[in-house]
Amino acid sequence: RDESRQRRLRGGCRQSVEEREGSDGCRWGCLFWAPDGNVLLGLAITLVTLGGFTNTLYLVSMFAVVTTRFRKSPGYIIAFLEFLWGSGTMVGAAIGGALIDVWDFPLPFFVLGVITILMFPIIVKIGPNLNNAGECASVDAAKREPDMKYARLLRDPEYLAAMITLMLSWIMLGFNEPTLEPSLREFNFSSTETGVVYTVQFASYAAGGVIAGASCSFNLEAFYSLVGLTLSSLGYLIVGPAPFIHSTRYLWMVYLSQVFMGLGASAQFICGYCRALKLVLLRGYPDSIRSSGFVSSSVFTFAVFGSIVTPPAAGYLVETFGYPKGSMAMLGLLLAWLPVTFCIWIKSLFPGHKYRTVDTHNENK
């Protein structure tokens, strides 16, 4: 079957990409000894492009497989994956800063690269089991599938709204990466102390993932997306803080803002993803690996695009206007999307717009 072949291809892709990511981590560490100037810039761009491409392939294939295999509870499985990501990033931020203090910039990359390569045999061993994506779609759905044009979803306003909502979470992360750490220099932090600030954010992300998964299981993803966007806005309001607050920047503001950002980002990504999966079924598409794969690929296309374009713009804004004023651009973007999220939540309250559960195979509404 074509569906079985797609599962095998995704499994093989996931295993080969895992190995490539480990070697890329070691190569990034070697940039420490690269000559300054254009050589360093060229090597960095090349490695980041290669690493980003392989990482995206890995994420798309992994999410497509697990959301199909655990189709009865996609909210929980996505939340679990994001919990692992948040927990891993939380630990990595703290340990990475400590490793840099122990030696220098390359050490975290070498450690991560070795760990990733050592994980490859485990991926090879359990990969075939994960590739079994559960029971196949119904016969009727399988017959309809070749005629389904998935590109039409990209013209669906609600589907696009879900993509933009989750993309905003990656835009937030893309904004923080080049701007937050330099802004913390006023506190005279060591690398370890700076890592703790990021640890707070990703610990909140991991905890928020659990709440988001539970919300999705009760069909509350539209409401919790609104809550997440509100929390993210509050985070950017106080992290600077906003110039109109007229307050000195205190350390507690930074930590509290990271809590809000972590909770908000997890809500936006997980609820946006689950909403997209439900919309696919509501629009009459089959519950299959192909549908999950399309959602997964569109999710990470939007997310990666947001994370690519944001850092240069964020760096320019903060360098030109300073961190408090520069971060207002991110706050304005979140506030501009807030009315759209509110309208989608209001629409979801009416019975005619309730989503069916993922494991339903009855006639489409």
Q: Residue ranges of the alpha helices (H) in the chain? A: 2-30, 38-69, 74-102, 106-131, 139-144, 157-183, 191-217, 221-238, 251-282, 289-321, 323-348
Residue-level pLDDT at 333: 96
Domain that holds residue 61: 2-132+150-353
Write a three-state SS string for 194-205: HHHHHHHHHHHH
DSSP letter, residue 71: T
Residue-level pLDDT at 14: 39
Does residue 358 lie in a domain region? Answer: no
Q: Are residues 80 and 208 in contact, defined by beta-carbon separation less than 8 angstroms?
A: no
Does residue 336 lie in a domain region? Answer: yes
Structure tokens that stand for 61 in this block: 């294939």
Would you write out the chain's pLDDT as a tens digit for each of its 365 residues? 444 434 443 443 434 344 444 455 666 677 777 777 788 888 888 887 887 788 788 888 888 888 888 877 888 889 888 888 878 877 777 787 788 778 877 888 888 778 878 877 877 776 666 555 444 444 444 455 556 788 899 999 999 999 999 999 999 989 988 899 899 988 888 877 888 888 899 889 989 999 999 999 898 999 999 999 999 999 999 998 999 988 899 999 999 999 999 999 999 999 999 999 999 988 888 888 888 899 999 999 999 899 889 999 999 999 999 999 999 999 999 999 999 999 999 998 885 544 443 343 343 33
First-to-last alpha carbon distance for the chain, in angstroms, is 28
Secondary structure (DSSP) of 156-224 = -HHHHHHHHHHHHHHHHHHHHHHHHHHHGGGGT--HHHHHHHHHHHHHHHHHHHHHHHHHHHTT-HHHH
Does residue 328 lie in a domain region? Answer: yes
Q: Are residues 131 and 275 in contact, defined by beta-carbon separation less than 8 angstroms?
A: no
Phi and psi, residue 286, nearest 5°: -70, 155
Structure tokens that stand for 147 in this block: 């005629």
DSSP letter, residue 34: S
Does residue 322 lie in a domain region? Answer: yes
Does residue 335 lie in a domain region? Answer: yes
Number of domains in the chain: 1
Structure tokens that stand for 242 in this block: 């906003």
Structure tokens that stand for 241 in this block: 């803080």
348: domain CATH number is: 1.20.1250.20
Does residue 139 lie in a domain region? Answer: no
Does residue 364 lie in a domain region? Answer: no
Does residue 103 lie in a domain region? Answer: yes
d(CA 155, CA 148): 14
Structure tokens that stand for 172 in this block: 């937030």
d(CA 284, CA 287): 9
Nearest to 270 by CA among 299, 240, 307: 299
